[in-house]
A and B are shown apart, each in its own frame.
Chain A
Amino acid sequence: MFALTALELARIQFGFTVSFHIIFPAITIGLASYLAVLEGLWLWKGQTVYRDLYHFWSKIFAVNFAMGVVSGLVMAYQFGTNWSYFSSFAGSITGPLLTYEVLTAFFLEAGFLGVALFGWNKVGPSLHFFATLMVALGTLISATWILGSNSWMQTPQGFEIVNGRVVPVDWMKVIFNPSFPYRLVHMTIAAYLATALFVGASGAWQVLRGHATPAVRTMLSMAMWMILIVAPIQILVGDQHGLNTLEHQPAKIAAIEGHWENTPGESVPLILFGVPDMTEEKTLYAIEIPYLGSLILTHDINGHIPGLKEFAPEDRPNSTVVFWTFRLMVGLGMLMLLLGLWSLWLRWRGSLYGEKLFLRFAIAMGPTGLIAILAGWLTTEMGRQPWVVYGVMRTRDAVSNHSALALSTSLVLFIVMYFAVFGTGVSYMLKLVAKGPEPFDDHPPHGKGQALRPSRPLSAAPDDIDPVVDLTGQKEA
């Protein structure tokens, strides 16, 4: 193809499949918790708007979950097919962590998902709520184990190497490795943020096209509260995570900052933009802010961080890439903060649902949570290079002995299939989103949404909403 080596092809394949995959679990984590909150509110307050939102988002959740399951299946086997030396070397640590993920999380999610999605009329309300909670809990447990495993690869400890393979010595140290708490919190918040942005964008879109039903308003409002609260927390957590990385993976930070060497007596500037050049060993076209690098990274105006030149060339991550992926993530984070603050301002002025520019901005921000997640993962994973287990095993020693032909064949298969399958899936998800929340009926007759009105159960509280009125007269999506 492009004269790529088997190693590069295997890396591209992993990067491609895992990037596609992470999108779905991120939304799964966020939506599962959102569904639990919605059902809890419905049971607590009895307002139908929460029940209708629950059923609306659970349909989208179902499609998303299916895509997460099948794309995750690929990941579970790819360690063996493509990274067999890594698996036989470190499987004694990553294997048990993955097994715990399957046992404590995947089964919990899958076991209760059926009831949560299809059991509304089959089990009682509290049992159904319990099922929803178990699904949400499963997603969070899952994140915990997989980030434990990933963090161990980033900052390994609690093991020794016997006969050329890893032997765990202290499992508490393995799991609670130095970067684990930061990564777990950062990723979980990222999932919530990405979901809030997605929910917020769909709410804003419905409002803009004149469907400002109570359900739509509620979801927009809930999403904006979430973004307002969570975006600043995420920025603080990210800062702490950066300090942790500086302590344990200084080469990664140097690459992220495009920082090649320290000048004695001078502070580290923050390079806003530039093009780090790996062969010339400098960052070209750099626009710098003096002192700020020292201040952000060491919280000290005169602090120094190691430069890339302090590491042997074969131990340096690719600064050109991670410099930019990191800035993309941070830039989007700032825009999220702005969105949250703007929503607060409009809320205070009472025009959250009327400000067109704001609504358009919220729509544009819809996918940015996911983009930021991808950018962040690219930064941390490419920043770990050239190691697969940091400082212990190099990526080039981890890859299976497949030919470039076998790998490019499977890579092409994956690319074609993923775009076809998951592209279609995402388009179905967006189609469902476009329909907007409808009043849920316990015994839906075949027919259009408007026809549901007379058969709605009497128990449904008539007070808080009347979305049907808003929907009539509107064109179908």
Chain B
Amino acid sequence: MGIDLPLIWAIIIGFGLMMYVVMDGFDLGIGILFPFVGDREDRDTMVNTVAPVWDGNETWLVLGGAAMLAAFPLAYSVILSALYLPIILMLAGLIWRGVAFEFRFKADEAHRPFWDKAFAWGSYIATFSQGVALGSFINGFEVSGGAYAGGALDWLTPFSLFTGLGLVVSYALLGSTWLVMKTEGTLQRRMKELARPVAIALLAIIIIVSLWTPLAHPDVADRWFALPNMIFFAPVPVLVLLVTFAILRTLRRGTAEAGPFVLALFMLFLGYSGLAISLWPNIIPPSISIWDAASPPESMGFTLVGALFIIPFILAYTAWSYYVFRGKVKAGEGYH
């Protein structure tokens, strides 16, 4: 076997999940920002900036699940049964906010506030659960005999609750900077005001997680602080600092448009890389690697052919769809 299929699949799934975090991140972020925007027209504008693209964004999450089942069935079954309750809560959150996209425009006056709340709450619950799942993933799972062997509430730790909060803040930053790019006038000003403290909070959270993880997991500490790794990985924290300052700077400038959003994406990407460095090559931390959990080469190879052929097309027409809906979304420019 010349090709390292598990490695390629780990990269594809990693890419898919990153696309998810990046794309659904900003539209979940819009739900997270809802409570900070009272005006109804502004809320409509916020939703309209993502209405044409949100279900494409969510499809990356479905791809993550399906590809994991195809390439790493053991990881899929262990991780999902270990995270039973957070996953169910995440799905519940996504259901509420997903339908709220359509329902808040179709509902009568009396029910609109309800669907606005469902949109916000659903976004919070989905994001927080994803963050909790991320934290418990870092903490690792107890496995014996090819199945999850831990308890139903093992995921509930101070660390995972903290990463839950961390993800809410991350998505809030993506959401607010997205809106800086897509809106204008008072809504845009409001978002610029909001994005600054959010960016600072996110920096604080990244610092805490970066200290907490190696302290709690000696192997992660070895990974980062042993030489020569430390030199290779040093750019990651340095860049995080630089990017945060760049976000704050661009927000202060009157002309801030796409800059803060692009920088926020870069920041998320850095956090994501840090995570990958800490956990590599385990797909079920702390000890099951991508090679241990891999499905037979017949399955990986068959699916890879399609993935390599089709993913470029997906990226192309997704980009086209964003291009069609480019530019500022104006108040009252309802598609409904």
Contact = CB atoms under 8 A, between A and B. Distances in A.
Interface of A: 59, 62-63, 65-67, 69-74, 76-77, 79-82, 84-85, 87-96, 98-104, 106-108, 110-115, 117-119, 122-123, 162, 165, 167-169, 171, 400-403, 406, 410, 413, 417, 421-422, 424-425, 428, 431-432
A67 B99 contact: yes
B216 interface: no
Interface string B84-105: 1101100110111011011100
Nearest to B149: A401
Nearest to A104: B310
Contact of A123 (B92, B317, B324): B324
B308 to A, nearest CB: 10
Contacts of A72: 62
Contacts of A67: 99
A118 B53 CA distance: 10
B321 A106 contact: no
A107 B53 CA distance: 11
Contacts of B318: 107, 111
Given A80-B69, A117-B52, A402 B335 contact: no
A87 B65 contact: no
Question: SS class of chain B's interface: helix, strand, loop or mixed?
Answer: helix
User: Which of B66, B76, B81, B336 is packed against the most chain A CB atoms within 10 Å?
Assistant: B66
Contacts of A73: 58, 61-62, 91, 94-95, 98
Consensus secondary structure, chain A interface: helix
Given A81-B83, A98-B69, A401-B147, 20 more contacts: A66-B102, A73-B58, A73-B98, A74-B95, A84-B78, A85-B77, A88-B76, A89-B73, A99-B63, A102-B66, A103-B311, A104-B310, A107-B56, A107-B59, A111-B321, A112-B321, A114-B52, A114-B325, A406-B152, A417-B96
Nearest to B12: A99
A401 B96 CA distance: 28
A63 B107 CA distance: 12
A111 B317 contact: yes
A402 B324 contact: no
Contact of A65 (B55, B76, B85, B320): B55
A401 B150 CA distance: 10
Contacts of B65: 76-77, 80
Contacts, number: 232
Contact of B69 (A95, A114, A421): A95
Given A66-B101, A92-B73, A123-B324, A401 B148 contact: yes
A406 B148 CA distance: 15
Contacts of A88: 73-74, 76-78, 146-147
B229 interface: no
A80 B62 CA distance: 13
A115 B80 contact: no
B39 interface: no
Contacts of B287: none
Nearest to B316: A111
B70 A96 contact: yes
B179 interface: no
B296 interface: yes
Interface in B152-166: 152
A411 to B, nearest CB: 10
Contact of B99 (A84, A92, A425): A425
B324 A421 contact: no
Interface in B111-125: none
B91 A111 contact: no
A114 B307 CA distance: 23
Interface stretch (B189-197, B198-206, B297-305): B297-305
B130 interface: no
Given A63-B106, A87-B73, A88-B73, A403 B55 contact: no
A85 to B, nearest CB: 7
Contacts of A432: 106
Nearest to B67: A99
Contacts of B77: 80, 84-85, 87-88, 91, 400
Contact of B95 (A71, A111, A400, A402): A71
6 contacts: A98-B69, A99-B307, A113-B56, A118-B335, A165-B73, A413-B88
B116 to A, nearest CB: 14
A422 B100 CA distance: 11
A92 B321 contact: no
B171 to A, nearest CB: 17
A460 B51 CA distance: 28
Q: What 4 A-B pairs are tightest by C-beta distance, nearest first?
A: A91-B73, A80-B80, A95-B70, A114-B52
B25 to A, nearest CB: 16
